[in-house]
Structure 1
Amino acid sequence: MPSRTISTEAVPSSVLHASLSIEPPKIVRAEGHYLHTSTGTAIYDASNGAAVSCIGHNHPRVKRAMSQQLDAVEYCFAPHFTTPAYEKLAKFLVDSTNGHLQKVFVTGSGSEAVEATIKMARQYYVEKGEPERKRFIARDRSYHGNTFGALDVSGHKARRTIYEPLLSGSTSHVSPCYPYRDRRTGESTAAYVERLAQELEDEFQRLGPQTVCGVVFETMAGLTLGAVASVPGYLARMKEVCERHGALFILDEVFAGMGRTGTLHAWEQEGVVPDLQTVAKGLGAGYMPIGALMVGKKVVDVLDRGSKAFMHFQTYHGHPLACAAAYEVQQIIRDEGLVENCRRMGEYLGERLRARLGAHPNVGEIRGRGLAWAFELVKDRKTKEPFPVNQKVAPTIHAAGLQKFEIALLPGGGVVDGVNGDLIVLAPAYNINREEIDLVVQRTAKAIEYVLGPATQNAKL
C-alpha cells in the first residue's frame, strides 16, 4: 500500500483550547523573556504566562538539575517512599519560614495545594475533637483554584456560576480589601480596617464561631482583583478575629508567594504568620507543574498526637522531578538576588507605569507591589464606571498586545462585581532589568492606546 503524506495545515487542532473558534499562537521555542512563535514572531512574556515563569525560560541550571534527577529517579509513590529531592525542597521551604511552618506537602498545582489545605483544616479539627467545624470564610472576588474544593472557597462569580449547583456551599464570602472602590470618602486606613474586621466578626457570629474551620485569604489578590496588596494592619486584624474564635488563619500565596512581592513570602511584609499556607507559581517557575501546602506547628502537633497521618494523597504528590526543578529554581532566586531585584525593579516599574499611563482617561488605578502590577480600566475615571463585560476591553487589549506589539499581557475581568470590570496584569520575570521594564511599559501603553485611544482623548469604545 503506498504511503501517504498528510498535510497538517488544513487539519483542525485536536486540543480543546480556551476558545473553540480561535486558535492561539503556537510557541515553538522559549528563551529568556521571549516566546517564539511558529510564524517567527518573538513575543515579550510580560505576564510570565499566569505569573509563573519567574526566572525566564530555558534556564540551563534548571535543565541540568532535571536531567540529573532523571538519571536518579523519575517517579516513586510518595505515600510509600521519599526521595532526596522531596526532602531537600521541603527543608528549604520550612527553613524559609524560620520554622514557623514545619511540614510541607508537595502537590502538582496551586489548585491541588488549596484542595489539600481544605482537607488539612477539616482533619485538624476532627482530630482536635471539634467535628462541628466544617465551614470556611473567604473573600468576594477571590480566586483559589479550579478544582471543586478550591472553587468553593473562591469568590469570583463568573468562574463559579456554572458549577454552583455542584459546589459544597461550605464557604461564605466577605468583602475583599479593595480600597480603590470600597474605602469610603474621608475614611482613614485604620477605620477601613476596623470596618472589614467587624464584617468578618459578624460573619463568624452569623455562622456560629464553633462551626468555622478558618478563613482563606490571598495575601495579595491576584488576577481576579488585580494585584491588590493589603493595606497596613489589615491581615493582622483578620488574624486576631480568627484567633479569638479558634479558627485557622490560612493564606493563599499561589500568586504572590516565593518572591514576587519583594519578600520570599508575601506575609513577611504584613506582620503575620499563617497557620496554613499555599505556594505554587513562583515555586517551580513553570519548569514542572508543582504547588505546596505548608503546615504550621499547632496543626502538626495535633496530628502528631492523633492519627500521625494526613488523610489525603495524590498519585503525583511529591513528584521527584518537580521537586528537583523547584529546588534549583529557588537556589537560582537566592544566588542571583532575585527577591531583592523584585523589590527594586518593582518600584521602578510602578514609577514608569504611572508616568506613562497615569493620566489616561480609561486607567482608573495603577496598583501593585514587587513585580505584580495591574491597571483597572474604566469607562469614566470620575465615577469609576466599568466598561460593560460584553465589550471585552481587557481581552481586546491582550489580543492587540500579541498581534500588534509583540507582548504577552494577562487580561482579567469581573473586578467590580464578579462579572464587569476589566484588568490588565503585568507579572514579569524576577530577573528583569530597567531597559526591559522600559520596553514592557512602552509596548503595554501602545496596546492600551491602540484599543482605547491616547491619554489626550476621552476615548471610549
Structure 2
Amino acid sequence: MSNVFYRAVNKELLEVDYGEGIYLYDTAGKRYIDAASGAAVSNLGHAHPVVLEAMMKQAGKVAFSHLSRWTSKPIQELADLVAEVAPGDLSKLYLVSGGSEATESALKMARQYYVERDGQSSKYRIISRWKSFHGNTLGALSMTGDGRRKKYTPLLLDFPHIAPAYCYRCPFDKKPESCGVECAQDLERCIKTEGAEYVAGFISEPVGGAACGAIVPHRNYSKIVRQICDQYDILMIDDEVMAGFGRTGSLFAIDDFEVVPDLICAAKGMSAGYSPLGAVIASQKIYDAFKQGSGVFVHGHTYGGNPLSAAVALSVVRVLIKDKIAANARTVGAYLLNRLKETLLRFPFVGDVRGKGLLLGVEIVKDKTSKEPYPLAKGMAARLTQTLAEHGVIVYPGTGNADGVNGDQFLVTPPLILTKDQADELVAAMRDAFTAFGKTI
C-alpha cells in the first residue's frame, strides 16, 4: 500500500524513471513518446541542458526570497523579456506558481482594477464559456465550464457561462458557410442579461485545451469578443496557460487572431515543467490604475516570484526565442495534424482531428455521421489512453464533449522540439494502437 494520496486512488500508474527530449522512460526501461508533455507543460522536452544549467546556477545562489520583501535579478529580467514579446502594451508581469493561481489572480485583479479606477464599483462577475477549463481553485473553478465543477457547485461563485466556440458540435447548428460567429455574439446577450455594471471580465482560451480537445474558434471570434468587451467596459482576459509560450505556433496564441487582450494568464510552457510557475501579464492601463490608486494589489502567494522559478523561466523563454521553437511548433504541428487526419480519420470511431500548432485533439464517436458519442460508462477515453500507453504513447484524455457527460477526446501535445521524423514515429505508433483498440470495441 502506498501512502501517496493520488488523484485517482484506484488507478495503477506507470512509474517514471527519467526523461530525455520527447521521451520518458519507466523503471522497467520502456520508452514512451511524451505526446502529452505531461499536461502540455514540457514544451522543451526533458533534461534540456541550458535549462538545467540555469536551474543549478540559481539554486547555488538563492532559491527562495519572498516577493513582499525582496526583488531579484531573475524576476526583473524575466519581466523585461516577457514585456518585449507580449502583445501590445501588455508589459507588467505578476508572478505566481501555476495556472490556477494565474487565472484566480486575473479574476481578483479585474475586480480590484475597477475599484481602483472608479473608487467603488459593482463590477465583479467574470463570464466564461461552457467547455472550458480555467483551474481548480474555487474562483478559477467558478469560471470553468466543464464537469470538473460539478461536485463543488455549492462552493462556487455564481458566474455566467456562454456557448462554446465549438465548430464540430456547433451549439447553433451552423455550418462554416452560414456561420455568423453566433458563439461570440452570445457574449453580448449574456452581458445584457446579467447587466454590464456587474461584469468585470470575459475569460477564454484562444484555442481550447483540456476541457474540449483543441477546439479552434472561428477566425473572427476574438475580434468580435474584443469589440463587445470595449463596448461594455469589460476586460478581455486571455487564458494562455496551455496555449502560451509557443504551443500553437506563436509565442502567444492570441497573436494569430490579431487582438490585444487586457490580461494574459500564463503558466505551463513558460517554465516548461522545470519549476512551478505561472503569471498574469497586465496591460499598462491596468497597472496604472493600481499605481495611481491604492498602490497595493491585495493578493499574493508564498512562492510567487521566487528567484529559482524565475531563473528557470528566463532560460526557457530565451531558448524559445533563440531556437525559434514556436516556428517549429507551427511547421511540425501542421505536418503532424495532416498526418493524424490522414491516418486516424480512417477509423470508424474517430470523428474529428483538429488543432493548431502542437495543440491538437482527437474526438472519439460512436457514429461518424450523427456524431453520436459513446456513453460515459464505456470509458472510451481511458481505455484508448491505456492502449496507446501499451504502444509507447502517452496522451491527455478528456470526456464530456458532447453533452457535459458523454463524449470522449484526447489531446496530442508533444514537446515543441518535435521533429518531422519523430512526428512520423508518433503517428505510426498511434496507428498501431488504434488498430489494436478497434478490435476490442
Same fold (TM over 0.5): yes
What is the Cα deviation at residue 331 of structure 1? 1.3
8 Å CA contact retained: 2:131, 2:212: yes
The question of 1:101 aligning with 2:90 is answered: yes
Q: Which one of 116, 121, 138 corresponds to residue 128 of structure 2?
A: 138
Alignment partner, residue 420 of structure 2: 434
Pick from 190, 202, 225: which aligns with 1:238? Answer: 225
Taking the aligned partners of 1:198 and 1:63, their CA distance within structure 2 comes to 46
Query: Percent of pairs identical after alignment?
Result: 36
Deviation at 1:185, TM superposition (A): 5.8
Seen in structure 2, the aligned counterparts of structure 1 residues 189 and 81 have a Cα distance that, compared at 3 Å, is farther
Deviations 1:434-457 (A, max 9, x none): 11001111112222232234xxxx
- Given the alignment of the two structures, is residue 42 of structure 1 paired with residue 31 of structure 2, yes or no? yes
Structure-1 separation of matches of 2:281 and 2:202: 16
* DSSP 3-state at the match of 2:160: strand
The one-character-per-residue Cα deviations of 1:357-398 (angstroms, maximum 9, x if unpaired) are 122211111101101111111000000000101111011111
Aligned-residue CA RMSD in angstroms?
Answer: 1.4
Query: Structure 2: which amino acid aligns with 1:173?
Result: H
Whether contact under 8 Å (2:366, 2:374) holds in the other structure is yes
Shift of 1:14: 1.1
Unmatched 5+ stretches in structure 1: 1-11, 454-459
TM-score normalised per structure 1: 0.93
Shift of residue 336 of structure 1? Answer: 1.6
Moved more, 390-399 or 124-133: 124-133
Sort the Cα spacing of 1:203 and 1:287 in 2 relative to 1 into closer, same or farther, 3 A: same
Instruction: State how far apart, in whole Å, the 1-side matches of 2:364 and 2:87 are.
Output: 40
In the TM superposition, what are the counterparts of 1:441-456 in structure 2 within 5 Å? 441-453=427-439
Query: How far apart, CA to CA, are the structure 2 residues paired with 1:360 and 1:146?
Result: 34
The residue type paired with residue 342 of structure 2 is A
CA drift of 1:189 comes to 5.7
Matched, 1:394 2:381: yes
Q: 1:189, 1:232 within 8 Å by CA — same for their partners in 2?
A: no
Gaps of 5+ in 2: none
Show the counterpart of 2:112.
123
CA apart distance, 1:187: 4.1
TM-score, with normalisation over the residues of structure 2? 0.97
Give the letter aligned to residue 107 of structure 1.
V
Q: Which amino acid aligns with 2:382?
A: P
User: Which secondary structure state, in structure 1, belongs to the residue aligned with residue 60 of structure 2?
Assistant: helix
1:87 aligns with 2:76: yes
Q: Does 1:192 align with 2:160?
A: no
Given that 1:17 and 1:23 are in contact with CA atoms closer than 8 Å, whether structure 2 keeps it comes out as no
CA contact (8 A) 2:185 2:224 kept: no
Q: Is the 8 A contact 2:87 2:255 kept in 1?
A: no
Letter in 2 for 1:133: K
Per-residue CA shift, 1:236-278, capped at 9, x if unaligned? 1011111110010101000111011111000100010110110
**Residue equivalent to 1:5:** none
Q: 2:65 aligns with which of 66, 76, 79?
A: 76
Deviations 1:180-199 (A, max 9, x none): 11165664467431x22332
Q: Which residue of 1 aligns with 2:410?
A: 424
Instruction: Read off the aligned partner of 1:44 and give its amino acid letter.
Output: I
Contact map agreement 2:163 2:171 (CA 8 A) in 1: no
Conservation of the 8 A alpha-carbon contact between 1:141 and 1:417: no
State the shift of 1:310 in Å.
Answer: 1.2
Secondary structure in 2 matching 1:313: coil
Q: 1:216 to 1:28 in 2, by over 3 A?
A: same
Seen in structure 2, the aligned counterparts of structure 1 residues 110 and 347 have a Cα distance that, compared at 3 Å, is same
Q: 2:142 aligns with which of 152, 156, 174?
A: 152
Corresponding residue for residue 251 of structure 2: 264
User: 2:194 pairs with 207, 211, 222, which one?
Assistant: 207
How far 1:308 moved relative to its partner?
1.5
Alignment of 1:372-383 (within 5 A): 372-383=359-370
Conserved? CA contact 1:78–1:319, under 8 Å = yes
* Pair 1:114-2:100 in alignment: no
Deviations 1:386-422 (A, max 9, x none): 01011110111111111x2011111111111222110
Partner Cα separation in structure 1 for residue 164 and residue 242 of structure 2: 16
CA distance in 2, matches of 1:95, 1:335: 14
Counterpart of 2:168? 180
Cα distance per residue 1:65-121 (max 9 Å; x no partner): 011101221110101110001111111111112551121111100000011101100
Q: Distance in 2 between matches of 1:186 and 1:106?
A: 41
Answer yes or no: is the 8 Å Cα contact 1:189–1:231 preserved in 2. no
Aligned residue-pair number? 440
Moved more, 357-366 or 175-184: 175-184
Partner residue of 1:55?
A: 44
- State which structure, 1 or 2, has the greater radius of gyration over its C-alpha atoms: 1
Q: Any conservation in 2 of the 1:47–1:426 contact (CA below 8 Å)? A: yes
Structure 2 vs 1, CA of residues 431 and 221 (structure 1 numbering), >3 Å: closer, same or farther?
same
**Native 8 Å contact 1:374 1:425 kept in 2:** yes
Q: Which residue of 2 aligns with 1:165?
A: 154
